[in-house]
Structure 1
Amino acid sequence: MTILKARSGALPAEGLGATVPSSSAGESPRILERLPLPPQTPYRVTSDAEALQIARALAEEFRVSAAERDRERRLPWDEIERYTASGLWAITIPKEYGGLGASYETLAQLFVTICGADPSLGQIPQNHFAVIQNLKDTASEAQRQRWFADVLGGHRIGNAGPERKAKAAQLVSPTARLQLKADGSLSVSGSRFYSTGSAFAHWIPFRAQDEQSRPLQVWARRDAPGVTIFDDWNSFGQRTTASGGIVFDRVPVGEDDVVPIWRFQDVPTLSGPVSQLIQAAIDAGIAQGALRDALDFVREKSRPWVDSGVTRASDDPYIINEVGQLQIEVDAAHAVLLEAARHLDAVAHQPIDEHVSARASVAVAQAKILTTEAALLASEHLFALAGSSSSRAAHNLDRHWRNARVHTLHDPVRWKYHLIGNYVLNGALPKRHQWN
């Protein structure tokens, strides 16, 4: 595969956008120097049912210290290793490559389950699974065999997301550049603003441009010289995702480490809908976790209102009514999410044309709207149900709203309404990218 045709146009290392991100205080952010442990071959999950059973067991384990990790902003290094060892990070590798080939419904439920316990930890593999789908859709056969085998062997995949620069007019605009050096080798330089999962990953794929300004997906090793990840993610929610900035400074890459995605710009795929399904599942998990903690607090700690005439808050007729309404909202969002996942399963093995891809985007957009609303409603209404004592810092229940508010900003819901309305009213097909 020829990536760059001529050396004469090779870009110099300088001026490639490999700028160091600045912190909110104007100081240089702290470099995240810790590297993930070398890959270890994980358990091989044998069925979708077993995958969900393992996920439920892990969720109970992760839930125990989720509030403490959030409060201390303690990155879940040990938990990620435990999660990977369970075999769950490899369940979507296709059967023909030695994997389980789990359904999209199982994938969605996996994210709901883990994010119901700790949505920061649960969000970390979002790009891992999205990139696996991207490999199915755009990589060469040799690349699929290579990277699918890596995942089955315990490798984790991160991602370096959009750059926050004025010149990057759109989120999909690559600002990193691939360079052909005089000796014929390749290197890549540039900076990206979001890198969820990359701190814990072994491979970091990201968008770049070739000499003809065509988009590429370049894969860099996490431990390669020139890769620097910054611990500058300081949002008030999703605090332990390590979604900081990343810089690539003349990072060496092989020719086989490059996927020429420009060749697939006009090819309909399921990459966008699958990426969005994961985002919707994260929000559904946040909603379920918030509601669960609200119910536990009402049962165990809340006091009944003075005029209620009951001795337990859980017997207050108004609280009972509100719980019923909230449970319906959360359950409905979850049901539509799984319906969207089943839609993807139904079309996954047929030719994907522009109409199949569009309908998949619409189905997932419907789920994304409802899971967003459920996450925000459950996490905010938690306090109205549980009472003033639930607002004490010791309980850290505000993390549910903080997580919901931050993660639901990932994809503006107003554009989901527009996507659906424009499709239903005008037959307009959604634009194809990872946010649709």
Structure 2
Amino acid sequence: MTAHIISSDSEANSIAEELRQFLVAGASERDQKPEPPAAELDRLSASGILAITVPREFGGADVSFETITNVFQRLSAGDPAVTQMTQSHFLFLDAIRQDGTQEQKAFFFGQVLAGARLGNAQAEKGSASALDLQTKLTQGDSGNYRLNGTKYYCTGAILADWLPVAAFDPEERLVLALVPRKEHGVIVSSDWNAMGQRVTFSGTTTFENVAVPENHVIPHWRLFDRPSVFHAYASQLHTAIDIGIAQNALSDAVALVRARGRPRLGAPVSKATEDPHVILRFGQLSAKFHAAEQLLLRAARLLDRATADLTIELAGEAAVAVAEAKAFSEDVVIEITNEIFALSGASATDNALNLSRHWRNARTHTVHDANQWRYHSAGNYLLNGVLPGKPIRKKAAAF
């Protein structure tokens, strides 16, 4: 694949808007007839949007957190499921930037600039905690490793070129093994069957004695020994997805009410757009949506500030800001996607419109973990000055 190379933040935002319009046109149909969105992801790869965080020294635009946040919201307002397939791509590009060797950076950044995509193989089941892992790298022949394990919720894996796999090396250190999607022993299943975010195809991936060269292993454990915004960045992108869903849902609700010829029964007006209760409710939702946007923007700017002068305090403050944005955005997106139907009436439930996809997408995407803990994190910092900790993965206990 030949990919365009984006050179600036402004170009990234402009292309993201073009891609939003492209994605939104087919989002409803893809939700109703879910298949892996190969053409859509190929369009994103060819546009260069998936390489905008590559550092300048390796040929990328190296955009700010503010820009990648704006880009992610725009893409999610087009199709949040397709966009979520790229969330781990951006996150693990940052992992390579953080702890890869110069050789690894040159290779993988070069791959991405040419259009390659990184997938995701992190989560597991069956242990006492979501942070416990059983996937292992064992020593193989000629300095290579062998990878064995099973991963779940592998968003983006089915159409990725490379899979970053969280595993423990022979010294029981957390690493990322970057494995070609079509490597012998890699089995990616299309067993995703959720009510929303249907085309993420976040199914199961199994690794059976997969050969991994030593120079394809990133020492991810080092990230936990120093200040970083890596995990806050991951949440920031998820927040942008929520707000993108809310943006698209609110836009659809406005269009539907404007198109209605008559008001709800009992309203002493001639048009639905003149109903004072409808006007009030749209005003409330608009205010909440824009407040969520501003929290997202504030978090992005604090992430930029933290990376310019990376200290425990600045990284922690950015993480708290992201927690606030994510917590509030979850509440807002559920409210907006639910209120479409109350504001639009019985006609909004017509399956031909498929407006339920907004709520289904929001509800599916917002159950990654308990939202209350994000508010708790913000409150604990405000009251007690306690900065949030890092979610450290460990090897699962044997049973």
TM category (shorter chain) comes to over 0.9
Partner SS, residue 200 of structure 2: coil
Q: Could you tell me how far apart the structure 1 residues matched to 2:259 and 2:98 are?
A: 49
TM-score, normalised on structure 1?
0.87
- What residue in structure 1 maps to residue 396 of structure 2? none
Alignment of 1:232-247 (within 5 A): 232-247=191-206
- Provide, for residues 272-304 of structure 1, a one-character-per-residue CA deviation record: whole Å limited to 9, x for no partner: 111111010000001111100101110113630
**Contact kept in structure 2, 1:276 and 1:434, CA below 8 Å:** no
> What does the per-residue CA deviation read over 1:321-349, in whole Å, with 9 as the maximum and x for residues that have no partner?
11011000011101110111011112212
Match of 1:304 among 263, 275, 291: 263
Q: How does 1:197-236 map to 2 (within 5 A)?
A: 197-236=156-195
1:195 maps to 2:154? yes
Structure 1 runs of 4+ aligned residues shifted over 6 Å read none
In structure 2, what is the Cα distance between the partners aligned to 1:138 and 1:323?
47
Aligned-pair CA distance for 1:434: 8.7
How many Å separate the matches in 2 of 1:263 and 1:391?
Answer: 51
Which residue pairs with 1:292 in the alignment? Answer: 251
Which residue does the alignment assign to 1:73? Answer: 34
- Secondary structure at the aligned position of 1:105 is classed as helix
Structure 1 counterpart of 2:337, from 379, 383, 393? 379
The AA in structure 1 aligned to 2:362 is A
Taking a change above 3 Å as real, the CA distance of residues 326 and 78 of structure 1, as seen in their structure-2 partners, is same
Is 2:86 the partner of 1:141? Answer: no
Q: What is the alpha-carbon distance in structure 1 between the residues aligned to residue 55 and residue 216 of structure 2? A: 21
1:365 corresponds to which of 323, 326, 334:
323
Residue pairs, 1:273-422, within 5 angstroms: 273-301=232-260, 303-350=262-309, 352-422=310-380
Question: What is the distance in 2 between the residues matched to 1:122 and 1:159?
Answer: 14
Which residue, 58, 61, 74 being the options, matches 1:100?
A: 61
Once residues 398 and 260 of structure 1 are traced to their aligned partners in structure 2, the CA distance between those partners, rounded to angstroms, is 43
1:272 aligns to what?
231
Amino acid in the other structure paired with 2:286:
Q
Q: Which deviates more, 147-156 or 174-183?
A: 174-183
Residue by residue, what CA displacement relative to the aligned partner does 1:187-225 show, whole Å, maximum 9, x if unpaired? 101001111111111110111112232211111100100
Q: Secondary structure at the match of 2:167?
A: strand
Q: Secondary structure at the match of 2:111?
A: helix
Q: Using a 3 Å threshold, how does the CA distance of structure 1 residues 406 and 434 change in structure 2: closer, same or farther? A: farther
Alpha-carbon distance in structure 1 between the residues aligned to 2:378 and 2:388: 8
Alpha-carbon displacement from aligned partner over 1:109-159 (angstroms, at most 9, x marks no partner):
111111112111111100001111222222222222221111111110111
Contact 1:137 1:269 in 2 (8 A): no
1:302 and 1:171 mapped to 2: Cα distance?
A: 51
1:130 aligns with 2:79: no
Note the residue ranges of structure 2 that are not aligned, 5 or more in a row. 394-399
Q: Pick one of 59, 62, 86 that aligns with 2:47.
A: 86
Q: Distance in 2 between matches of 1:188 and 1:213?
A: 13
Per-residue deviation, 1:369: 1.2
In the alignment, is residue 159 of structure 1 matched against residue 120 of structure 2? yes
Tell me the distance in 2 between the aligned counterparts of 1:184 and 1:434. Answer: 28
Decide whether the 8 Å contact of 1:238 with 1:403 is kept in 2.
yes
Sequence identity (%): 38
Q: Write the distance in 2 (CA, Å) between the matches of 1:376 and 1:310.
A: 29
SS of residue matched to 2:225: coil
1:49 matched residue in structure 2: 10
Q: 1:52 to 1:318 in 2, by over 3 A?
A: same
Distance 1:220 1:173 in 2: 21
The amino acid across from 1:393 in the alignment is N
- In the comparison of the two structures, how many residue pairs are matched? 393
Deviation, 1:310, is: 2.2
- Unaligned 5+ runs, structure 1: 1-39
CA distance in 1: counterparts of 2:49 and 2:142, whole angstroms: 41
AA of the residue aligned to 1:406: T
Q: For residue 73 of structure 1, give the secondary structure of its aligned residue in structure 2.
A: coil
Amino acid paired to 2:345: G
For residue 173 of structure 1, the aligned residue among 119, 129, 132 is 132
Superposed CA RMSD in Å reads 1.5
Alignment partners' CA distance in 2, 1:418 and 1:114: 30
